[in-house]
Amino acid sequence: MAHKTNAARLLDQLAIPYELREYEVDPEDLAAESVAAKIGLPPEQVFKTLVARGDLRGICMAVIPGNAELDLKALATASGDRKIQMVQVKELQGLTGYIRGGVTALAAKKDYPIYADETMELFDTISISAGVRGLQILIAPDDYLRATKARLAALAHTKK
């Protein structure tokens, strides 16, 4: 059985129901689409958490569908920044406590502002990283939004 991560422990504390789902990790392929295939969900239902830095407000997290790309302009608008860019992979662990492929907005090192793509509400259940590679949390979008205090915005555009 999968060990409890900080993300799962946070959900337990908040009495929020969720399901843990393990999958085989390929370090060469950490794409959300691959994770989706491994856990048997469509990629638009598997949300990835990206970390960005704005010129005015600093670090924030964007939670978008696995098959989409982050619209940086839309995130800047939502966060109140003029310009925003993705943080470098080498910064992820220091900022969030998580490694690439395992970043989640749940129980991150600091409480950063979190913006979730509004398509999240189209599903009964979404999947997000449990805070480690190889483990996903399946959760109702409303429960996820409550646990992360995320704000909804139109953040994603489908990959070309």
Task: Give pLDDT, residue 152.
Answer: 94
Q: Enter the DSSP assignment of 113.
A: -
- CA–CA separation, 27 and 81 (whole Å): 33
pLDDT tops 60 at residue 1: no
Model confidence at 27, pLDDT cuts 50, 70, 90, reads: confident
Domains and CATH numbers, the chain: 6-158 (3.90.960.10)
Listing from the earlier edge strand, what are the strands of the sheet with 114-117?
84-86, 47-54, 58-65, 114-117, 151-153
pLDDT for res 157 = 85
Task: Tell me the CB-side half-sphere exposure of residue 33, using CA atoms within 13 A.
Answer: 6
Per DSSP, 45 falls in state: G
